[in-house]
Amino acid sequence: MPRVLVTEKLAERGLTALADAGHDVEVRLGLSPAELVEAVAGVSALIVRSATKVTAEVLEAGTSLVVVGRAGVGVDNVDVEAATRRGVMVVNAPVANILSNAEHTMALLLSQARNISRADNALRSGRWERAKWEGVELYGKTLAILGLGNVGRLVAQRASSFGMRITAYDPFVAPDRGRQLGVELGTLDEVVAQADFIAVCLAKTPETVGIVGKDLLAKAKPGVRIVNSARGGLIDEDALNEALASGHVGGAALDVFDNEPGEGAEVDNPLFGHENVVVTPHLGASTREAQDKAGVTIAQQVVLALAGEFVPFAVNIAAAEASETVRPFLPLAEQLGRVFGSLSASLPDQVEIDYQGALAAEDTRILTLATLKGIFSVAGLDEPVSYVNAPQVAAARGLAYRESRSAASPDFVNLLTVRGGEHAISGTLAGARGTPRLVMFDGHAVEVPPAPNMLVVRNDDRAGMIGLVGTVLADAGVNIADMAVGRSAEGGTALMVLATDQAVPEEVVARLVSEPGILAADPVYA
């Protein structure tokens, strides 16, 4: 009888479903890291929520582990890479709490608009202050939604029923899809500048941390009100504190924070001192229904995984499912997707994944899924993107995709190309070790290994441009780790692809673009 270890509170219906499937369910709450390492020995499935850290050490000790289940959306407390290496499936419950989170966003929006918490506090303190707490109607106001994922779409639907005008920033939603949703898409600066209210509905990624900062807040209307029930860290709390103190931001309603202590701990945050700030202690998913759905969903996924059946919410996938020819190209396909996604200012209506050479004769569906996964991994979505759900994510955001193939590859044994909209990027594996190489950017032949931090510079094809770029980066303390230069076939322009030791700051990119001869500079991430 397979053993299932549950280390955090799970809905009773979920525990019952596990037991009914014939599994030995052991609930042990509050385990220390050392106790968890000891407890996981001989366990077939481990179910956690957000507090338990499933580290590489835990996975190594769990020699019998088949699956790790996260009863919620994010899996940042699980070492997914280590799990994949050990052949352990990671599953989650990505849609269990989206309705509760969207409703909480609306509750915060209404509370902020009508001063509900402030009026409540005053009345409980014995003060009848009807005139003081005059609010505003939502009808006719503009709501800017940052992130049009599962939660963002639900918020848009609900806010529309109040007669609000909905704009949204999400470069990974195709324009046609935005029109279908009744949402006006725009750049981050555009939607914030028009907004009476801003709802942050993004996932927390390196690209979205601090996205609502001092510069962005300065571009907003005076008196704008901000709601965040997504993730702490998306709003620069120091910048928000200053904007509230100056009156430029008229109010905020926050459910998540940079630093969130454990249950029962004392809290101290300067934002709590503002009378026009509504706060709740991360209650977005705290409904009976969401907790019940998360427990039941994760139990179902674990039961399927232990039975060896298809698991719809698997976050990772075993490389063994790809052929020996295809398997080495999985990291490259995902890296190409990430570079394409971060280079594209907006999502095209369609992308084509082209396979040339020996790959053209193989089953490349898993490489296509890896490419989609890479494209959406830089999008700041409110759910992890996996090989399993990548097609659904693409459909929800209006992205069509297709494969093409050719046995002939003039310059390389194998070549992968991702193209769509204004961009096309190619990659291959080079040498006996199969080292990934990016070999084409937008028609320019280059050769550079993909790196976590890269910069693509387009410039006039004339002397001194390489030195100019190197000098600007050196002045900013940015070290160039690798570099490739390609000339346009038509002549007149050239392209540089640089790998840097750290991300190039926005102000440095802006300085580059201001230099004569520099046509564009785009940070990308592989």
State both tokens at 525.
């991430």
Handedness of CA 17, 23, 24, 30 (dihedral sign): negative
Catalytic-role residue among 86, 282, 327, 487: 282
Amino acid at 304: L
Cβ-proximal residues to 269 (8 Å cutoff; 6+ apart), any chain: 237, 257, 259
Burial class of residue 409, CB neighbours in 10 A (0-12, 13-18, 19+): middle
The string of DSSP codes covering 216-268 is HHHTSPTTEEEEE-S-TTSB-HHHHHHHHHHTSEEEEEES--SS---TT----
Q: Is 231 a catalytic residue?
A: yes
SS3 442: coil
SS3 512: helix
The radius of gyration computed from the CA coordinates of the chain, to the nearest angstrom, equals 25
The string of DSSP codes covering 175-196 is HHHHHHTT-EE--HHHHHHH-S
Catalytic-role residue among 26, 81, 137, 260: 260
Contact status, residue 353 vs residue 329, Cβ threshold 8 Å: no
Contact status, residue 388 vs residue 314, Cβ threshold 8 Å: yes
Closest CA to 106 of 170, 151, 136: 151
Closest CA to 65 of 320, 318, 305: 305
State both tokens at 315.
């976050």
Catalytic-role residue among 118, 231, 419, 444: 231
Task: Look up tokens 């009888």; give the residue.
Answer: 1
Closest CA to 58 of 28, 79, 84, 30: 79
Q: Is 260 a catalytic residue?
A: yes
State both tokens at 206.
């390196």
CA distance 82 to 85: 5
CA distance 159 to 442: 40
Q: Is 282 a catalytic residue?
A: yes
SS3 295: helix
CA distance 498 to 480: 7
Query: Any bridge partners for residue 460, and if so which?
Result: 493
- Residues classed as catalytic: 231, 260, 282
